[in-house]
Amino acid sequence: MTDAEKQTFVDRFAAAWAAKDGAAFLALWHPEGQLHYPFANRVIRGDEIGMLNDLTKVNAPHLTWSLVGWTTRGEVVVIEWESSNRYGEHLVTWRGVDKLTLRDGRIIEEVVYADTAPLQALRQGKPFDALIQLPN
């Protein structure tokens, strides 16, 4: 892929997130692709991406996603992003990174790296304290 094609891919990826558009996400994926997603209970197939989008809209209707930055190397695109969601009175913001391997301009594998611990603690009604407490 050329640099321009990679930029177009990232623009399409960000637009799919902005619109929360299952068809736009699906168009980015090879049907046999695999998504390794820490918020799900199993690997998600490329042909299931539209379903994941629908489930996300139901389970996290206030979810936001924004592009922070990106880089590439060969057929790998790495996207840094920031998300937020409202949980009752709490607005939680977190960042993550997606490592996308492309084949013929479409995602054949995506690995999402994000720390789910703060969200898990909130879900369980527990405080999330840092593992290392530094002196003030």
Q: For residue 133, with 0-12 CB atoms within 10 Å meaning exposed, 13-18 middle and 19 or more buried, which class applies?
A: exposed
Provide φ and ψ at 79, rounded to 5°: -115, 125
Per residue in 44-96, pLDDT (tens digit) is: 999 999 999 999 989 888 899 999 999 999 999 999 999 998 888 888 899 99
> What does residue 13 show for φ and ψ, rounded to 5 degrees?
-60, -50
Where are the domains positioned within the chain?
Answer: 3-123
| Dihedral sign for Cα atoms in the order 46, 50, 52, 53 | positive
pTM over the 0.75 mark: yes
Contacts of 93 (CB under 8 A, 6+ apart): 82, 83, 84
Sequence-distant (≥ 6) Cβ neighbours of residue 103 within 8 angstroms: 30, 75
**The CATH number, out of the four listed (3.10.450.50, 3.40.50.150, 2.40.40.20, 3.60.21.10), of the domain defined by the range 3-123:** 3.10.450.50
pLDDT (tens digit per residue) in 92-121: 899 999 999 999 999 999 999 999 888 888
Tokens matching residue 93: 């913001």
Helix (H, G, I), strand (E, B) or coil at 87: strand
The reported pLDDT for the residue numbered 60 is 86
Is residue 124 predicted with pLDDT exceeding 90? no
